Amino acid sequence: MPTCHHCHTICENGTAATLTWVHEREPDGRVRWLCPDCARRHLRDIEARLPAGWQ
């Protein structure tokens, strides 16, 4: 089950809210999930493709 990388919120599979979650693939192949709130907060980092440790 996807869990937000930043706030550790757990995604409830099978709900319409699942469609609003963001996933990104790290260069090493790992997948990170972000809840809608964290995705909005970190939009600039996501679009700039900054490394996960940037924050």
Backbone angles phi, psi at 52, to 5 degrees: -60, -30
Q: What predicted TM-score, i.e. pTM, was given to this entire model?
A: 0.70
Q: Quick one: tokens of 13?
A: 């599979």
3-state SS assignment for residue 25: strand
Question: Using CB atoms within 10 A of its CB, is residue 34 exposed (0-12), middle (13-18) or buried (19+)?
Answer: buried
2-54 residue pLDDT tens: 899 889 999 887 777 788 898 888 888 889 899 999 888 877 777 776 666 65
pLDDT for res 55: 56
Do residues 13 and 21 touch, judged by C-beta distance below 8 A?
Answer: no
